[in-house]
Amino acid sequence: MRNLDPEPLIERVNRAARDIGRHVRIMEVCGTHTHAIGRGGLRAIMPPNVELVSGPGCPVCVTSQCDVERMLLLAKQPGLVTCTFGDMIRVPGVTSNLERERSEGADVRIVYSPIDALELAKRETDREVVFLAVGFETTSPGVASVVLQAHQQGMDNFSLYVSHKLVLPAMEAVLSGGSRIDAFLTPGHVSVIIGAEAYDPLALKYSVPCVVTGFEPSDVLEGIAMALEYLDEGEIGSFVQYTRAIKPGGNRCAWDTLMRAFDVADGEWRGLGVIPGSALALKPAFSKFDSIERYHLPEVEAVELPGCRCGEVLKGLLHPPECPLFGNRCTPRTPIGPCMVSSEGSCAARYKYG
């Protein structure tokens, strides 16, 4: 077992930061890392020349306003059961959110797994059940499996609103969008599926080390130490801190399942706009499970939330406290933007942990 005691890791971080000598920006891509950084108080112990920047890896935060509004339209459909992960329930639409719709009579249920939504549809055959499918490659293979199971079982009262995103195109959009990032801590559980090697082309193209990092504060500390050491040594590529779970090439079985149910498609992200090849769409063979088609959902013009600067926060261009709304009008109790709503949003983490 490796030594993940904080003290020697802090020493490694300090030593490497001293050796580099210049200002370094490290982006943690994943919202779960943002949370771990807050939980471990890591921001406060960083050397002065090491800046941690939160990235676009909170699925709820990057869900476009158009998708949020259409999810609300779905929830309002009479007789429909809308199943969602808990994180989504308070994400603000322009005039409402899922929690408010529920209090006004919509049947919105929080589920732990997409399997729960499928089981509900099997139990309540006289109801139509929709699952709001958000998440990155950690979550989407399971949803793909549910699609295949629903198809196999001939379900006709079950559909999905698919808003899945892919991590790599968003990382590239951050780099090409003008945010200077010297190294990435890449999401450990996405990487369990896609494999660490998936970051190689990006790492080489932009000369950034990508360190696949686990989710405990000690993991993140070691990931930072590794990123700084690779930067100092001028080594570019993908590296693995999270050796406990990452296998060479990722989980091919899970990836194949994903690609059996979904095609890669263009996707609209909050803050990042439309990114080619950054999202998933149900394959035509499974279009009967597509809530958008089933309920003829219209395109909704995205009205940005007034004053909200989540878009810049998600691109690493703005730290949460630099937003004028942060901490006064926008708090976890009265969130204006999605980065304050989700417990993994960078604004919520900064508010909670400082």
Partner 1 sequence: MCLAVPAQIIEISGSRARVSLAGNVREADLSLLEQATVGDWVLVHAGFALEKLSPEDAEETLNLMMQLQGDGGEEP
Binding site for partner 1 (CB under 8 A): 1-2, 4, 30-32, 35, 38-40, 57-60, 85-87, 112-116, 134-136, 138-139, 141-142, 145, 148-149, 187-190, 192-193, 214-219, 243-245, 247, 251, 253-254, 257, 342-344, 352
* Residue nearer to partner 1 on the CB measure, 46 or 192: 192
CB 53 within 8 A of CB 80: no
CB of 252 to partner 1, least distance (A): 8
* Residue nearer to partner 1 on the CB measure, 64 or 139: 139
Residue 299: how many CB atoms within 10 A of its CB?
A: 9
Is residue 97 left, alpha or beta, with left meaning phi > 0 and alpha meaning psi from -120 to 50? beta
CB of 76 to partner 1, least distance (A): 25
Alpha-carbon dihedral 329, 331, 333, 334, rounded to 10 degrees = 30
Residue 254: how many CB atoms within 10 A of its CB?
A: 19
* Residue nearer to partner 1 on the CB measure, 97 or 138: 138
CB of 81 to partner 1, least distance (A): 18
CB of 5 to partner 1, least distance (A): 10
CB of 84 to partner 1, least distance (A): 12
Question: Cα(351)–Cα(38) distance, rounded to whole angstroms?
Answer: 9
CB of 342 to partner 1, least distance (A): 8
How far is CA 315 from each of CA 170, 312, 339, 345, rounded to the nearest angstrom?
Answer: 9, 5, 12, 13
CB of 257 to partner 1, least distance (A): 6
Give kind and range of the element (H or E) at residue 143: helix 140-152
* Residue nearer to partner 1 on the CB measure, 38 or 92: 38
HSE of 142 in the Cβ direction (CA atoms, 13 Å)?
16
CB of 114 to partner 1, least distance (A): 7
Amino acid occupying residue 348: A
* Residue nearer to partner 1 on the CB measure, 192 or 305: 192
CB of 233 to partner 1, least distance (A): 27
* Residue nearer to partner 1 on the CB measure, 29 or 236: 29
Question: Cα(226)–Cα(241) distance, rounded to whole angstroms?
Answer: 8
* Residue nearer to partner 1 on the CB measure, 86 or 273: 86
Question: Cα(352)–Cα(37) distance, rounded to whole angstroms?
Answer: 11
CB of 82 to partner 1, least distance (A): 17
* Residue nearer to partner 1 on the CB measure, 207 or 243: 243
* Residue nearer to partner 1 on the CB measure, 243 or 334: 243
Question: CA quadruple 347, 93, 74, 107: dihedral positive or negative?
Answer: positive
* Residue nearer to partner 1 on the CB measure, 138 or 159: 138
Identify the three-state secondary structure at position 28.
strand
CB 188 within 8 A of CB 243: no
Q: Would you list the DSSP string of 176-243? A: HTT---SEEEEEHHHHHHH-GGGGHHHHHHHT--EEEE-SSHHHHHHHHHHHHHHHHHT--SEEES-T
State the Cα angle at 349 between 138 and 6, rounded to 5°: 80
